[in-house]
Structures are given as structure tokens and as C-alpha cells.
Structure 1
Amino acid sequence: MNRFGVLALVFISVVINYMDRTNISVASGALSAELNLSSVQMGLIFSAFGWTYSILQIPGGIAVDLIRVRLLYPFILFAWSLVTLVQGLVSSFAALIGCRMAIGVFEAPSYPCNNKIVTQWFPEQQRAGAIAVYTSGQFIGLAFLMPFLTYIQSVFGWRGLFIISGVIGMVWAFIWYWLYRDPETPAEEKHIQRYSGADLWAALTHPKLMGIYLAQFCLGGTLIFFLTWFPTYLVEYRGLDFIKSGWLASVPFLAAFAGVLLSGFVSDALARRGYSVELARKAPVVLGLLLSGAIVGANYTEDTAWVIAFLSIAFFGNGLASIAWVFVSLLAPARFLGLVGGCFNFIGGLSAVVVPTVIGFLVTDGDFKPALLFIALLALVGSCSYLFIVGRIEKVSFSAATTTDFSEVKAG
């Protein structure tokens, strides 16, 4: 299989990944009505995925360094899809929390896997485009899936939505294993990776890496809103009917899809023409984060078309900034790619814990205006992080020196 076939496999896997993350948002109205759940309880259900997903990012990244992707990826894909199916069989708040946490457990290594696959199969000057293609799966897939998922629920109910979603993923896990092959890797990369406490500490605390971690958390704020509360916002706050909201919800996802592809391919084109990495890689991300702040504009209009326009601009910006995984490859030492990727997604994944819960409290009186302002402020903080904390983009080095320093601290 060539690298573009591999990229297609990753793209489809990302579509399924995000389908299983977000079908809860489509089901939320019917589910909360049948089980009599409050907005705070729904916020906790939305965030439960992020509890385990974020906590297990570092172990997940280490697993990616230790286990062949061809074995690890189909296993986690089948497992999270099975739990997705089980969601359609439960009937309590506690069971839903447990299922969402279990999905977070098994999805945790997925993005470090994606990043490792692209890093192994694509040269650096094509990598942002490849990241953009597979990342676009979370946007274009959901743009077309939102109407499809709302239709499935209208026919089969929220339980049928979970069961059908789960079956799709379980079948795809077998197809993925059958089609994918690991690339030949250099001999020096075939040893078993071992980490010290100092390696983990350095990966978590290096200033440049902390900058991209913080920005990824802020970037996740906009994404998580669209993956969780967005359908509820359209139906309950903006008063749209359920089926119509499914179609309108697809528009911002299409905008995000356009943003991520534009960002990836323009970024690669600038890199190939010799422009600095700050311009080629960082500029689209900073611009995208700034545009994400446009979400607050929806607070100042009652016109549905303008609401969708502001949300689409914001999600377009989120798409522009979604090539941020490229900074893991650019900054991380090669032998710690999975570890740094795990830390990156750990901090970024915390947004899936914090944001849905905060929104759940902010909208208890039915007013989404404070929630949109909160998302806009996060995007502003993210852009400042790249500008003032990350600084110059260059490979970091921490293992040997930091191990010595860490040992001395412990000895003292």
C-alpha cells in the first residue's frame, strides 16, 4: 500500500472516531428527555469522555512508541466501537458516564497513532498537508454525518443511533487490520523505547512544548463546543426543529473542512518555497485561533443566517489552526515522538473535560451568551500562547541533560 492509501485509511478512521465522540450530541435531546437529565448532568456526560481520554494520553503515546500500529490501532478501534454500541443498551446517568469514560480510554492512543503513521510515511515538507487531510475527517465526515445521524435517530431512536455507529466501527477495525502494513523503519528505531521520569518531566515542562500544549487546550475549546453543545444550542436556544438543525449544523463543519485543507496545503507550499517555519507553520494556526473568536458574534444577532455565518467563521478558523499536530513533529526529539504527542493531546484533551462542564453551568438559565464568550476568550489565549510562549520553532533537546538534573534533584 502506498502512502496515499495509508492516508485514506487514517482519514476514514478519524471520521469514525469523531462519529463515536459526537453521536452523543445528536442524541442528547431525546436522551435527556427520556432519562430526565438536567443541563449540568448532560455537561458531565459530555465531559466524561475527556476525563479518561486526557489522563491516558501520555500512557497512550508511550503505547504508540512500544506497540506496532497495525496491532494497536484496530484493537482500540474495535474496543471503542463496542462501547459505543453498549451505550444504546444502558438506561442510567451512571452507566452513560461509564460508557463515555470507556470510549475515552480506548480512543486515547488514536491521535498519537495518526501522527506516528503520518510521520513515518510522509516527508516533512508534505506532512502538514497529510495532517490536514486526516484532520479534515473530523470536519467533513461530521458535516455529512450530522444529517445522516439525525435521520438515523429519527427512525431508530437514540439507542439505534449508538448501536448502528458501534457496528460501523467494529466492521472497520477488521478492514483496517486487513489493509494496513507498517512501513519499514530504520534499524535504530526498532529498539524498545524506555523512558525515565526525567524524560516525562521534560516533555511536560519544556517551555516551548508547554506553549503548544496550552494552545491545543484553547483550540480544543471551540472544537468541543461543536462536538457537544452545538446541536442543543441550535434546537433549544435558537429554536430550530431537530431535522433542520442537522442540516444547518453541517455548514460550520464544511467551513472547518475548508479551513484545515487550506491551511495544510498552503503551509506545505510555503515550506517548499523556502519560507520560514514561523510563517509557513505558525501563521495559519495563529490566524485560525484569532478567527475562532468570531463565535462571540452570534451573541449579537437573532437572524439564523448570521448565527450560522459567525459560527462558520469561527469553525473555519478552528480548521485553519488544526494542523497544530505538525509542531509535535517539528519540536519533539525523534525518539520521544509518541511521548510528546501524548503530552500534547493530554493537555489538549483536558478541554474535553473542562469546556462541556463549564458550558453546562453557564447555560443553566438557558442563555448561551456567556458560553460563546468563554469559547472566544479561550481562542484569544491560544493565539497569544503561540506568539509569546512558543516563540521560535526549533527542535528541542531535553533527555540527557534533564536526566542528569533530575537525578541530582532527587539525590539532594
Structure 2
Amino acid sequence: MFEAKDSGFVLDRSVPIATASRRRWVIVASLFLFMAINFADKAVLGLVALPLMRDMQLTHAQFGIVGSAFFLLFALSGIGLGLVADRLNVKWLMAGLALVWAVAQLPLAWPTSFAVLLACRILLGAGEGPASPLALHVVYTWFEDHERSLPTTIVQQGATTGIILAGPVLTFIAQRWYWHAAFLSLGVVGVMWTILWLGVGKSGDAHRHRPLGNALRADWAPVRSNVRYRRLLTDRTVIGVLLQGLVGYSVIAIGVTWVPSYFRVALGFSATEAGWLFALQVAAQIPIGLALAMLSHRMLARGVSSRLARGALVSSACVVSGIAYCMLYVEAPPFAKVALMALASALALQAFTFGPLLVAEVTPDARRAAMLAITNSIATLAGLIAPAAMGKVLGVVANNRGYELGFIATGVLLIVVGAAGFLLLDPQRSHKRLEQSSQG
């Protein structure tokens, strides 16, 4: 066994490097699928919105409440499990979450009541609240900070892929076997992923061992783990991440609840066309996300500070996204508006790639799982408001202008939080202050 010891950190080389490297990419692939299922579960409601509303005789306001109900326990469960994630076996924890998703979908496979629909969406939200931060926490146990951009992007693109596949596949299933079959399909897929994860799932050791490369750097020192959560949550970088995450999650919540209906009702596309266009506009997140992740990685490799390589980059994405959303109010052909939405949503959702990287950069390893869960859960509070607010707007302005007024409001908020990010996102400064605080 080869060991490199320094200041209490140990690098254990008893496991072959090649084997460990292959294993961690298997974990990344599994978590990619995990996030794909997670977001397909979210998207199904919007994809079957019109037949569901017709069969259950729901108004726009009632459907908006169903969309928001998903987030009722989302944040609480995310924070609760995040606080204890480091003390639990993550393999069984994530398997349990996936089973909850499956259980929440199955009652909707048959005709049901409004109360059961609400209860199932609330249960699904409770099960999915911890999903993204826990998935990233597992990734970060296998990769050091300078390696995390690519695996983070891959796992986050699982969410994009889930929505891309959900669009045409669940629309086809709903039209071929009625909308109840879409929920049944997702329940079965959730069970299948659980079986896969029980076979391959495992947490890594990057959070417990100081890597040899860092051991040779005289300037490397982790923030100590005795920093209080209150101090972390009031840090300028964390505040900037939270602001951008709140508005970014409004984009997600409105997108999975109302965008397919916008394509059909306001832009005049058929159900099949709307499903494919929804998938294609979400697919734009993949090349844009990968391009920005690679740009950020190259900037960091050239010695550019992460304030610019991560903070300024994601803030610029928010501002451009906001401008694109505001342009939806301008008269334009339907396909041009779909393209604008694709650009706007792809850029807005970069907050969920760069935000966790920034939080992990300034947070002690012993606090990382909890902080990722807390910041993600706070951001998802926007989901309680955004779908219901859009439903209220559509109750007053029930045409394409109603949808677009909601998109403009989101765009203005994106511009504001993007501008704030240029001032707030400074991980090096935050790290230094948190280290000083832990020594005080």
C-alpha cells in the first residue's frame, strides 16, 4: 500500500487507479439515468395537461395548484435528508428515493380524484427534493474540485435528457394508451433503476482523503468543518447562488407545467408536434451546457479565477436568458418563439451546473452534502409560486399574451439576478473569509 501523509490527510492507493477511475464513471452514468428519470417524472404532468384537465374538469387555476403542490414538501425533504446524508448509507438512501417516485406514480395509472392527484404529486415532490444535491454529493466524493466540471455537467444533463425523452415518448404513450399509461410507465422505470443502483451504487473517497497533487501544494488548505451553517448561508457567494437558483427554478417549474400547453394553445401546434418541440427546445441545453462547462474548465486550467470562470460566466448566461425571454412578447413566427425559449431556458438552467460547483468550492467537505441540499431546496421554493402564478395570469389573460407575460416577468428577474451575480459570486474571497471565521 502506498500512502502520502500530510496534516492528517491520507491517500490510500491500495485500490488500483484504473479500477477506481472506471468505477467512478459508472457511478456518473448511473446518476445521469437517475436525473433523467427525476425530470421525466416532473415533465409528465405538463405533457398530459390538456387531456388530464379535460377528464378531471380542472380549471387553469386548479391545474396550477397541482403543479405547485409538487413543491410543497420538496424543499423540506431536501433539507432534512441533506442534513443527515453524511451519516447514512447513500446507496440505500438513493434507492429508497427512487422507490418513492415509483410509488407516487402508480395510483395515477387508473382514473382517480383530484385529492389523489394532489397527494401523489406532493409525495413525488417529497421523494425528489433531495435527488439533485445527493446525486452531486456522490459525484463529488469521487472527484476533486478541479475535476468536477465535466461529471457535474453530465449528471445535470441527465435532467435535460429526461425531459427530451419524456416529450415524444410519454406523449406517444399517452395518445396510444391514454394519459394514465404515462404514469404507469414512469413507475416501472423507477423500479428498474433502483435494481440497477443496488448493483453498482457506492460513495467515493475524495471527500475523506487529501489527494497527492494537493498535498504537494503549499497554499492548499480546506475550510475547517466547524463553520456554522448560518455563516455559510450568509456568505456572499452562497447568496448569489441562491438568487440565481430561485429564478432558475421558476424556469423549470413553469417549463414542466405550462410550456407544452403554450406550444399547443398559444402557438397552435398539435399534441405530437408540441411533444417533439418541447423535447427539442430542452435538447438545446446539452450543447450549450457542455460548451459552457468546457469553456469554464479551460479558463480554470489557464489560471483564470473561478470568480470569472464560474461566477461571471453563469451571471452572463442569466442576463442573456432574461433578454431572450423578454423578446417572446415581440410578434414572431411560432418556430422563432420556440427557438427563443430554447436559448432562454438553456442559459437559465446553467445556474444548476455552476451553482453547486460554487457552493462546493467554498463549503467544508463535512458540510457539503447538507449545503448542496439546503441551497437546492431553498431554490426550489420558487416552484411553490411560479406554476400557480402562471395559472392565475392565464385565468385573467387566457391567450398567448397571458403565457408571454409570465415569461417576461421571469426574464426581468433573470436579468436582475444575473447582474447581482457579477457582484456577489467570488468564491476565492468567500473561501478566505470562511477560513478566517473557522479560526476565530
Pairwise CA RMSD of aligned residues?
2.3
From 254, 261, 274, the equivalent of 1:232 is 261
Partner letter of residue 172 of structure 2?
Y
Q: For residue 336 of structure 2, what is the aligned residue in structure 1?
A: 306
Q: For residue 431 of structure 2, what is the aligned residue in structure 1?
A: 395
Deviation digits for residues 25-64 of structure 1, max 9, x if unmatched?
Answer: 1111111100000111111111111121122221121132
Q: For residue 409 of structure 1, what is the aligned residue in structure 2?
A: none
Q: Distance in 2 between matches of 1:49 and 1:352?
A: 8
Q: For residue 331 of structure 1, what is the aligned residue in structure 2?
A: 362
From 250, 259, 270, the equivalent of 2:279 is 250
1:186 is displaced (CA, Å) by 6.7
Q: Distance in 2 between matches of 1:86 and 1:57?
A: 24
Q: For residue 288 of structure 2, what is the aligned residue in structure 1?
A: 259
2:346 pairs with 1:316: yes
Is the Cα contact below 8 Å between 2:136 and 2:155 reproduced in 1? no
Deviation digits for residues 348-400 of structure 1, max 9, x if unmatched?
Answer: 11121111111111111312121111110221122123122334544266699
Q: Distance in 2 between matches of 1:129 and 1:27?
A: 34
Q: Distance in 1 between matches of 2:119 and 2:56?
A: 16
2:231 pairs with 1:202: yes
Q: For residue 348 of structure 1, what is the aligned residue in structure 2?
A: 379
Q: For residue 96 of structure 1, what is the aligned residue in structure 2?
A: 117
Q: Distance in 1 between matches of 2:373 and 2:152?
A: 16
Q: For residue 127 of structure 1, what is the aligned residue in structure 2?
A: 148
Q: Distance in 2 between matches of 1:23 and 1:186?
A: 36
Deviation digits for residues 186-226 of structure 1, max 9, x if unmatched?
Answer: 7689xxxxx99x93433433343222112110111222222
Is the Cα contact below 8 Å between 1:221 and 1:379 reproduced in 2? no
Q: For residue 246 of structure 2, what is the aligned residue in structure 1?
A: 217
From 94, 99, 105, the equivalent of 1:73 is 94
1:185 is displaced (CA, Å) by 6.2
When residues 329 and 402 of structure 1 are mapped into structure 2, their CA distance, relative to the original with a 3 A threshold, is closer
Q: For residue 372 of structure 1, what is the aligned residue in structure 2?
A: 407
Residues 47-86 of structure 1: pairs in structure 2 closer than 5 A: 47-86=68-107
Deviation digits for residues 234-256 of structure 1, max 9, x if unmatched?
Answer: 11222211111111112211111
Is the Cα contact below 8 Å between 1:139 and 1:253 reproduced in 2? yes
Structure 2: which 5+ runs fail to align? Answer: 1-21, 211-224
Partner letter of residue 96 of structure 1?
L
When residues 319 and 265 of structure 1 are mapped into structure 2, their CA distance, relative to the original with a 3 A threshold, is farther
Partner letter of residue 212 of structure 1?
V
Deviation digits for residues 109-137 of structure 1, max 9, x if unmatched?
Answer: 21121121111111212211111111111
2:128 pairs with 1:107: yes
2:40 pairs with 1:19: yes
Q: Distance in 2 between matches of 1:86 and 1:63?
A: 30
2:393 pairs with 1:362: yes
Is the Cα contact below 8 Å between 2:109 and 2:183 reproduced in 1? yes
Structure 1: which 5+ runs fail to align? Answer: 190-194, 405-412
Partner letter of residue 425 of structure 2?
V
Q: For residue 159 of structure 2, what is the aligned residue in structure 1?
A: 138
Residues 184-195 of structure 1: pairs in structure 2 closer than 5 A: 184=205
Q: Distance in 1 between matches of 2:154 and 2:309?
A: 17
When residues 369 and 183 of structure 1 are mapped into structure 2, their CA distance, relative to the original with a 3 A threshold, is closer
Q: For residue 277 of structure 1, what is the aligned residue in structure 2?
A: 306
Residues 163-202 of structure 1: pairs in structure 2 closer than 5 A: 163-184=184-205, 199-202=228-231
Instruction: Give the count of matched residue pairs.
Output: 398
1:14 is displaced (CA, Å) by 0.5
When residues 261 and 122 of structure 1 are mapped into structure 2, their CA distance, relative to the original with a 3 A threshold, is same
* More helix per residue: 1
Q: Distance in 2 between matches of 1:362 and 1:396?
A: 45
Q: Distance in 2 between matches of 1:180 and 1:118?
A: 11
Is the Cα contact below 8 Å between 1:202 and 1:402 reproduced in 2? no
Q: Distance in 1 between matches of 2:360 and 2:285?
A: 23
1:319 is displaced (CA, Å) by 4.2
Q: Distance in 2 between matches of 1:403 and 1:45?
A: 48
Is the Cα contact below 8 Å between 1:332 and 1:396 reproduced in 2? no
Q: Distance in 2 between matches of 1:162 and 1:64?
A: 29
Tell me, what secondary structure is at the counterpart of 1:229? helix
Q: For residue 158 of structure 1, what is the aligned residue in structure 2?
A: 179
2:325 pairs with 1:295: yes
1:102 is displaced (CA, Å) by 0.5
Q: Distance in 2 between matches of 1:182 and 1:316?
A: 30
Instruction: Name the TM-score, length of structure 1 as normaliser.
Output: 0.90
When residues 92 and 199 of structure 1 are mapped into structure 2, their CA distance, relative to the original with a 3 A threshold, is farther
Tell me, what secondary structure is at the counterpart of 2:71? helix
1:259 is displaced (CA, Å) by 1.6
Tell me, what secondary structure is at the counterpart of 1:182? coil
Is the Cα contact below 8 Å between 1:263 and 1:321 reproduced in 2? no
